[in-house]
């Protein structure tokens, strides 16, 4: 089965959600009193520029690194992952937690 071309509206929405996730992560980092370099060191990244890319919405956190990020930012791991899921995979978040949770989680 061939895949159809990505829907332009969906691509635009994904970009917006990644930017919102980045702003949420930046705010969490600032609340934790960390610079991008300090966060990078705390989670074992080689380059702090990855933190910058994620905060700007260009990149996204791999699932296997989310626990380390949550710990460094002094956030509950489950809530951290749930919030990122609302940004990165809103339809899956809706299926798992319901539509009301998806809307409120993305604004947390």
Interval 48-105: pLDDT, tens: 999 999 999 999 999 999 999 999 999 999 999 999 999 999 999 999 999 776 555 5
Q: Is residue 3 part of a domain?
A: no
Q: Is residue 35 part of a domain?
A: yes
Q: Is residue 86 part of a domain?
A: yes
Residues spanned by the domain of 32: 11-106
Interval 82-92: pLDDT, tens: 999 999 999 99
Q: Can you give the pLDDT at residue 39? A: 98
More confident residue, 6 or 108: 6
Q: Can you give the pLDDT at residue 20? A: 97
CATH of the domain at 25: 1.10.260.40
Number of domains in the chain: 1
Q: Can you give the pLDDT at residue 102? A: 59
Residues 99, 58, 3, 85, CA torsion sign: negative
Q: How many angstroms separate the most distant Cα atoms in the chain?
A: 49
Q: Can you give the pLDDT at residue 1? A: 57
Q: Is residue 5 part of a domain?
A: no
* Total length of the chain: 108
């Amino acid at each position: 089965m061939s895949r159809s071309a990505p829907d332009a509206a969906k691509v635009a929405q994904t970009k917006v959600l990644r930017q919102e996730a980045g702003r949420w992560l930046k705010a969490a980092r600032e609340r934790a009193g960390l610079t991008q370099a300090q966060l990078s060191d705390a989670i074992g990244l080689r380059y702090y520029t990855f933190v910058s890319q994620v905060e700007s919405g260009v990149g996204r956190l791999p699932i296997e690194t989310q626990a380390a990020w949550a710990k460094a930012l002094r956030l509950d791991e489950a809530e951290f992952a749930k919030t990122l899921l609302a940004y990165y995979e809103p339809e899956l978040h809706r299926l798992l937690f319901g539509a009301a949770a998806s809307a409120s989680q993305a604004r947390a």
